[in-house]
Chains A and B, each alone.
Chain A
Amino acid sequence: MNKPLLTIGVLLALSVPLAAQAGPKEDFNDLYAKAQSTHKDAGTFQWTVTSDRLEAAKTAAADGDYEKAEAMANEALKLAEESVAQRKKQQEAWRNVAIGN
């Protein structure tokens, strides 16, 4: 096998896994954006644990550890969704426990 062909072969082999998916960085960015905007939707009901996970996700992504970054962003998204649900529930629920209403 001559050298140029080998190079093309290697390049092709390398590009297959990259072409099959959007790429870990893009996947992460989408997930992170979703987690962040859900966290924002919680308004004054944000949870510290969500902020912590978002921070950890960002740090891991900056280090190129997309596996960890994605795991953290996933956790952040779940927590953020719970905090949004809490916010919605409390809009009415607080009245049931308030003294004087």
Chain B
Amino acid sequence: MLKAKVILVAIGVALAVPQAQAGSTPEEDRKETVEYFKQMFPDVAIEEFVNGQYALDEDRRSQWESMQDFPPYEFAVAEGQEMFETPFANGKTYASCFENGGIGVRQNYPYFDTEKNEVITLELAINRCREANGEEPLGWKKGAIASISAYMASTSQGKPISIKVPDDPDALAAYQDGKEFYYSRRGQLNFSCASCHVQNPGKWIRADLLSPTIGQPANFPVHRSKWGELGTLHRRFAGCNNNVRAEPLPAQSEEYRNLEYFLTYMSNGLPVVGPATRP
């Protein structure tokens, strides 16, 4: 434990990020972030970042590629499809709640709903759909919701992520809020998300190789060998908060939804590759 902390503290002081002018737009942020990672990893094609740590390490990547013939999430995706297609008690299905019947739409989530004034993630939309049809909501982090989300992602494979921040002060505020969360230090170890994923991707923390910000949400939901099952993005957020001894926030809290909004915007243009596997 102590050793881990020493390593973390050492990493925390490495590399400073270039400072930019105040008041930049989401699109300016994204371009600058892409540029930053291009300079950090000149040999890695930007689309490759959706593979997270596997984009950055040959050995890990070849181990991972050999796993892809029999991906451990296959059963969950099939189960997710079945649940997705099975009518609710009122006879309607999930398809009735989504654009294009929910097929090939993953890349548009999360979006900002200018009427409800909040960020709508795919998992939130799934549970709202259930509730609108008189069904109980599902648990947020794993199980049925992860399977349904995985199925929906699988129908969007390869589509470029396309998050929009509409010209609306509340939408911009939600984006900014997520950005602030990403860059604010938290927990007893005093780390921000950026301390690890902006300043130190490609470096090792104990047995873990740190992935870069860009591409991070593209592979969700994810089957982690550590979990032995699929989990949602907010489950990962909670784990990363917890690792620096920061109290995680509830899955689908406004804070985590705004964080997802910012983080996914940074990956605009990169392909959806979820579900995927990670250690």
Contacts and interface: CB of A to CB of B under 8 A. Distances in A.
Interface of A: 44-51, 79, 82-83, 86, 90, 93-101
Interface string B152-183: 00000000000000000000000000011111
Contacts, number: 76
22 contacts: A45-B184, A45-B186, A46-B247, A47-B245, A47-B246, A47-B247, A48-B246, A49-B245, A79-B188, A90-B186, A93-B184, A94-B180, A94-B183, A96-B19, A97-B16, A97-B192, A99-B20, A99-B36, A100-B29, A101-B19, A101-B22, A101-B24
A45 B188 CA distance: 10
Given A94-B184, A100-B32, 8 more contacts: A44-B249, A45-B184, A46-B247, A90-B184, A94-B183, A97-B16, A97-B17, A99-B36
Contacts of A93: 184-185
- Interface class of chain A by DSSP: helix
Contacts of B198: 97, 99
Interface size class of B (residues with CB under 8 A): 35 or more
Interface in B68-82: none
A4 B189 CA distance: 62
Contact of B190 (A86, A95, A96, A97): A86
A91 to B, nearest CB: 8
A99 B33 CA distance: 6
Contact of A48 (B17, B182, B245, B249): B245
Contact of A90 (B21, B185, B242, B255): B185
Interface of B: 16-24, 28-30, 32-33, 36, 179-188, 190, 192, 194, 198, 242, 245-247, 249, 255
A98 B246 contact: no
Contacts of A44: 181, 186, 249, 255
- Interface class of chain B by DSSP: loop
B6 to A, nearest CB: 17
B31 to A, nearest CB: 8
A86 B179 contact: no
A45 B246 contact: yes
Contact of B183 (A45, A51, A83, A98): A98
B187 A47 contact: yes
B187 A48 contact: yes
A98 B22 CA distance: 10
Contacts of B249: 44
A100 B30 CA distance: 8
